[in-house]
Structure 1
């Protein structure tokens, strides 16, 4: 953000429903299963260590991004629609 001329006092929070991704990013110990992780992972770990970002878990049922990425039941779609403040579709 500083490169864009926008000051910021707190870290950006990245919300994810992947507990595995949180565990890998927070645990800096090398594991055999993580030796083929791509370069952008290392950037996330460096940013986390520098305090530029923070990671937070959001349960699947509370994740509003699911509205855009997964097939949903009518009830769940209606709940997400209300949470986003969208008006119902009317014929």
Structure 2
């Protein structure tokens, strides 16, 4: 087996199981979020300018001029 790949997957498994436990214990709730409501899209993929500006506004990001 490849120890590097196993080390990465083990780390992911640990984090996944922690989140799963929190959901089972009622400490957090996993809720579906449609693509159009994903505010992080502007940071993770190429999007059109009008979509970017809308996401930027929803996040409350403003330009600061000197």
TM-score range, shorter chain: 0.5 to 0.7
CA RMSD between the two structures: 2.5
Greater share of residues in helix = 2
Count of paired positions: 55
- Name segments (4+ residues, structure 1) moved above 6 Å: none
Q: Which residue of 2 aligns with 1:74?
A: 49
Unaligned runs of 5+ in 2: 1-9
Unaligned runs of 5+ in 1: 1-35
TM normalised by structure 1 equals 0.49
TM normalised by structure 2 equals 0.63
Greater share of residues in strand = 1
